[in-house]
Homo-oligomer: A and B are copies of this chain.
Amino acid sequence: MPIILSGKVARDELKRSLVAKIRALQEKQGSPLCLAIIQVGDRPDSTAYIDAKKRFAAEIGVTVRLVHFQESVKQEDVIAEIKKLDQEKEVTGIIVQLPLPAHIDKHAVIDAIDPGKDIDGISSASVRRWSAADDVESYRPWPATAYGVYQLLQFYKIDVQGKRVCIIGRSELVGAPIAAIVGKMGGVVTVCHSKTVDLVKETLAADVIITAVGKPALITAQHVRSGQVVIDVGLSDASGGKLDEEVPRRKLVGDVDFEKASVVLGEKGAISPVPGGVGPMTVLALFDNLADCARI
């Protein structure tokens, strides 16, 4: 069996120093750090993600202010609320839970967030900045999933410098920032996507595979070889259900057929599971970003 890159283990370990950091910042500023979350509508997956953030915030002593709008809210009203939160000294960071309803231009909304409070790192100003960063550590805040992948690799001492890293998926919020951060770590990045003719050839040529598509069993035994590192950032419903519908006891899976891939990866390989891999790291990274915003 390969080494399991557990995001839970890494998160619990890294959480300790985050709590200490947050406590020190709180003492310095005389009040708790506060995360403002904007939610529009009632998608159950959004609510579940927000609940996870609220739970983690409570554990580490961060206040959460949830601003909830009806699905039908006007874009200008959401933007007006953000501009108000931008001004409030008590608010350390602001996130807009995505996706937004179709009548709202998500970029117009997100770009209303003050760059100093954009802890998701996804406003236009943030994207331009992290695209141009010299290295990982000199820039803050990175988009949370990308930073979570970075911290997971660091925690398990996986050095990607000069290594071939195959990244599958190039979405604005996940694939693209992961490609950027791995590039800044010195990885030689190849980005694959739906038009890639020979995915197997690409994944086999890599030292590290990072997949962020959302398609179960996209990566299986034939895509991997012994000794590779596989990071699974995908998330899907195992029985084909949509993530925005409420399903009791839903089983979530990643892009990788964990069992079959693990056999091939062997003892010298490593793989992150779903759930319990990149997911917990993403929540941790978000609050790491919050602490950085408080510090800067």
Contacts and interface: CB of A to CB of B under 8 A. Distances in A.
Interface of A: 107, 111, 123-125, 127-129, 131-132, 161-164, 170, 172, 176, 183, 186, 188-193, 195-198, 202, 205
A121 to B, nearest CB: 12
A87 B128 CA distance: 24
Interchain residue pairs A-B with the least CB separation, the first 4:
A162-B197, A124-B128, A186-B195, A190-B190
A191 B183 contact: yes
B189 A190 contact: yes
A191 B191 CA distance: 9
Contacts of A107: 128
B193 A191 contact: no
Contacts of A202: 188
Given A127-B128, A128-B124, A131-B172, A183 B193 contact: yes
A131 B122 CA distance: 12
A111 B128 CA distance: 11
Contact of A192 (B125, B188, B196): B188
